[in-house]
Structure 1
Amino acid sequence: MRHLRRTLVAAVLATGTLASAVACSSSGGSATTGSGGSAKGTYTFWDPYPQFDASSDWGKRVAACGTQAGVTVKRTGMDTTDLGNKALLAAQQGNAPDVMLVDNPVVSTLVQAGILNKTSDLGLDTSSIQQNILGAGVVDGASYGVPIGANTLALYYNKNVLKAAGVDPAGIKDWASLTAALQKVKAAGKKGITFSAIGTEEGSFQFLPWFWGAGGDLTKLNDAKGVAALSLWKGWVDQGLAPNDVLQNTQTTSWQEFATGQYAFGENGTWQLGNAAKAGFPYGIINIPGQNGGSAPAPTGGEFVTVPIQQDKSRYGVTKKIVDCLISPTNLLATDNTLSYVAPTGTVQQQQVQQNPALQPWVSAVAAARGRTSNGLGTKYPVISEQLWTAVQAGLSGGKSAQAAMDAAQQAVANHQG
């Protein structure tokens, strides 16, 4: 699944590990700029969409933005991990691509490596972007990329299962009412909730709405709020309201469980909307509730358009034209619909909902979401995340109490940072 592949790269990059050297075509000197800002030549563009070839809507859109800027865009799609590793290598060799689309947690890693330009230095306008979405690309108060869209998590529910159990989804407002609903579903002979608690970034990604929904702080994993979130999940597993296999579930296998029609709820993202329509039963979507009510902040997923630093600064004028084309409202609408993203601007979000009313709950979920590397975490996040998913695994398996698991996680982070 596209989202999962993207979220794994942050931890890889944080270790400084590079993949085996791969020859990267140099963009330097491949274009010339004449008077009046006219340009010709080839500009390079890397993205994490190897599934889209030149004949795809995405491939055509990128090429068209090059044509509009008066140049040819040489686009290369690759796996996210490869993209991040090759970006670091290319920067070291002085032949970084002109434009690069990267998963949002990776932006801070690339900034720390000194690879990216500030959007303000390039004259890129980010004023219309929702601040919580933009935040994943902000380091020390400066923006280093423009999001092309966002996805996040919510709760899909099976209308048939809830109706048979006498549960009104509109009454689910907090953890207590959700747990009560799961107990009613179990009593009616069906299964409660499925999610991913696997020991990877996917597990952290799925746990964060509950952690943040309790008021948890990623710099204080073992305070009472963070422990409450792990205790919630542990209680569900112990009571049979969630299956034991959440420990191995990816977001894909978790979805497959929900798609059997036996579960009341499945925690998953916008990228499953197409599959939900094919599930064979009526479904609905609610925001993940906070412990005491309201929508819990879920983590934002999605990519940022970034501009790597070039030795030839004269290239930036044309590069800006390409980026401006990609993030124009018309292209954002087309791109985000294609990729099952919620647009990063309110205006385009309204257009999306007009075209597809089913996106309304996702718009509100994205509005409540936050970047994993926001609030100054930056490159500290991958280390924290690894200890978080390790704690979740230990807590749910019964290896440690929720408090002991989070204590160990916090100590491991402190040891790493010390």
Structure 2
Amino acid sequence: MSRLLRTPRLRRPAARPGALAALAAAGALTLAACGTGTGAGGSGGAPDTLTEIDYYDAAPQNTQLPQILDECAAQNGVKVKHQQVPRAQFMPKLLQQASARTLPDLALVDNPDLQQLAATGGLVSLSKAGLGTDGLYPSIVQAGQYEGQTYGIAPGVNGLALYYNTDLLTQAGIEPPTTWAELTTAAKKLTKGPRYGLAFSAVGTEEGTFQFEPFFWTAGASLKQLDSPQAVKALTLWKDLVDAGSASKSVVTWTQADVNDQFMAQNAAMMVNGPWQLPTLNADKKLHFGVVPIPIPDAGAKPVTPLGGEVWTVGHSNPAREAKAVAVVTCLLGKDESAKWSKDAGYIPSNQQAAAQLGAADPQLAAFVAEVGTARARTTELGTGYPKVSQALADAVQAALAGGTSPASALSQAQRAAKN
């Protein structure tokens, strides 16, 4: 029987990372001469309105963000003028504004893009502005740093875990897998007719790299050496799953939203995906599912997942505007506000106490909360060099899964591309 695929809905996941091609095209803007303009808000005394920009175009983020922003703005005696820009245009626009010193007062930026934006000199150092980070996960604080200074802070983050269809696993007599060996066995046993055992996104962008990194890092691989034995081991796992028919060859074209569609249609018994999918999944009352941490190579290891989500930044303008903007960010990072934002958006609070409370109250989020403590900021190893290496890694995954190249050869090519 042919494996019929459900046509994916045209929507974007909350934490869809990447748009690296757009960033590369815009990179030259960071070299432009920088003036001493007054920023988006103009000059003068204390403002009554701050400007804000983000790329959210899907519920619940786009509906909840303005409300929480307005609440924090009101507490600090200002209003916020909200602007939403399509994701592909977002970083090119910000980089151009940074070069001209006209950045908005507030911007919500995908965390791996933060260092590139901070390198322009257009952002306020939140460290020097006195913004405290006590109680936040250290890995989350690190994700917003550039050259030892904090330029962005996430109110909440997301990551990846393994979703499984409880009905299908029960019928097959399978427990949720915890190791790679168990994952391989379960995926093979659950593959039947038009249904694959496992679905993941191996699309050739940052989104595909984001999905591969939990396996890559948990194996002990480093982005500084893409062709290490540990990296080959991780890519071999994915290739073996596809070659065995336990995962579809179409994973090289599936986004995370497409993967979710396959899972909801029961074309996949398990999937790798993030907490932002939970509102959609829970809306289907006929779908019964559970969530566990990403399987590990061997018992005793800890999953190392990439931190997804966005950080709040403050653009340079004048002292009065900057102070108000920092005050609004401080409010957004508060325990209650962080918990509210995360619950609405399908994220994990950056505040450790709020995250623990959320994980205890919501079993569906417990796996994601458990992983935050060992999660890794994507720019930790390479800083502003991350985008180039990320694309090289995505290309290697594509070459191995779709191009017939061995994992070792694909990763060797990736390592050469990353060094050029």
Q: Give the alignment's TM-score, normalised by structure 2.
A: 0.88
Secondary structure at the counterpart of residue 134 of structure 2: coil
CA–CA distance in structure 2, aligned partners of residues 201 and 55 of structure 1: 22
Are 2:326 and 1:320 aligned?
Answer: yes
Are 2:375 and 1:362 aligned?
Answer: no
Counting only pairs closer than 5 Å after superposition, residues 278-357 of structure 1 correspond to structure 2 as 278-279=283-284, 280-293=286-299, 294-310=301-317, 312-357=318-363
CA drift of 1:352 comes to: 2.1
Aligned to 2:275: 270
Secondary structure at the counterpart of residue 292 of structure 1: coil
Q: In structure 2, do the counterparts of structure 1 residues 168 and 354 end up closer, same or farther at CA, with 3 Å as the change threshold?
A: closer
CA drift of 1:207 comes to: 0.8
Aligned to 1:243: 248
Are 2:153 and 1:143 aligned?
Answer: no
Q: CA RMSD in A?
A: 2.5
CA drift of 1:51 comes to: 4.6
CA drift of 1:6 comes to: 4.7
Query: Per-residue CA shift, 1:171-225, capped at 9, x if unaligned?
Result: x331112112223323799531011111111111111111112111111000111
Aligned to 1:92: 99
Runs of 4 or more consecutive aligned structure 1 residues displaced over 6 Å after TM superposition: 52-55
CA drift of 1:398 comes to: 4.0
Are 2:232 and 1:219 aligned?
Answer: no
Aligned to 1:27: 40
The alignment-based identity, stated in percent, is 35
CA drift of 1:385 comes to: 0.9
CA–CA distance in structure 2, aligned partners of residues 245 and 195 of structure 1: 10
CA–CA distance in structure 2, aligned partners of residues 52 and 371 of structure 1: 25
Aligned to 2:408: 403
CA–CA distance in structure 1, aligned partners of residues 374 and 188 of structure 2: 27
Uncovered stretches (5+) of structure 2, i.e. residues with no partner:
1-10, 30-37
Are 2:18 and 1:8 aligned?
Answer: yes
CA–CA distance in structure 2, aligned partners of residues 252 and 68 of structure 1: 36
Which residue identity is paired with 2:40?
S
Are 2:390 and 1:412 aligned?
Answer: no
Query: Per-residue CA shift, 1:119-154, capped at 9, x if unaligned?
Result: 211110112210112221122332211111001111
CA drift of 1:357 comes to: 3.3
CA–CA distance in structure 2, aligned partners of residues 81 and 115 of structure 1: 21
Aligned to 1:253: 258
CA–CA distance in structure 2, aligned partners of residues 203 and 189 of structure 1: 23
CA drift of 1:287 comes to: 0.8
CA contact (8 A) 1:14 1:109 kept: no
Secondary structure at the counterpart of residue 349 of structure 2: coil
CA drift of 1:18 comes to: 7.8
Which residue identity is paired with 2:306?
P
Secondary structure at the counterpart of residue 377 of structure 2: coil
Aligned residue pairs, count: 401
Which residue identity is paired with 1:410?
Q
CA–CA distance in structure 2, aligned partners of residues 205 and 216 of structure 1: 14
Aligned to 2:139: 132
CA–CA distance in structure 1, aligned partners of residues 172 and 90 of structure 2: 47
CA–CA distance in structure 2, aligned partners of residues 407 and 54 of structure 1: 39
CA contact (8 A) 1:54 1:60 kept: no
CA contact (8 A) 1:11 1:383 kept: no
CA contact (8 A) 1:6 1:81 kept: no
CA–CA distance in structure 1, aligned partners of residues 74 and 54 of structure 2: 18
CA–CA distance in structure 1, aligned partners of residues 345 and 303 of structure 2: 24
Query: Per-residue CA shift, 1:247-299, capped at 9, x if unaligned?
Result: 11111111111112242211111011122223423111111112123342111
Query: Per-residue CA shift, 1:351-407, capped at 9, x if unaligned?
Result: 3235433221221122232111113x1211110111111111111124311111000
CA–CA distance in structure 1, aligned partners of residues 362 and 112 of structure 2: 28
Uncovered stretches (5+) of structure 1, i.e. residues with no partner:
20-24, 34-39
Which deviates the most, 205-214 or 287-296?
Answer: 287-296
CA–CA distance in structure 2, aligned partners of residues 367 and 5 of structure 1: 19
CA contact (8 A) 2:202 2:208 kept: yes
Aligned to 1:22: none
Aligned to 2:387: 382
Q: In structure 2, do the counterparts of structure 1 residues 278 and 317 end up closer, same or farther at CA, with 3 Å as the change threshold?
A: closer
CA contact (8 A) 1:52 1:77 kept: no
Secondary structure at the counterpart of residue 114 of structure 2: helix
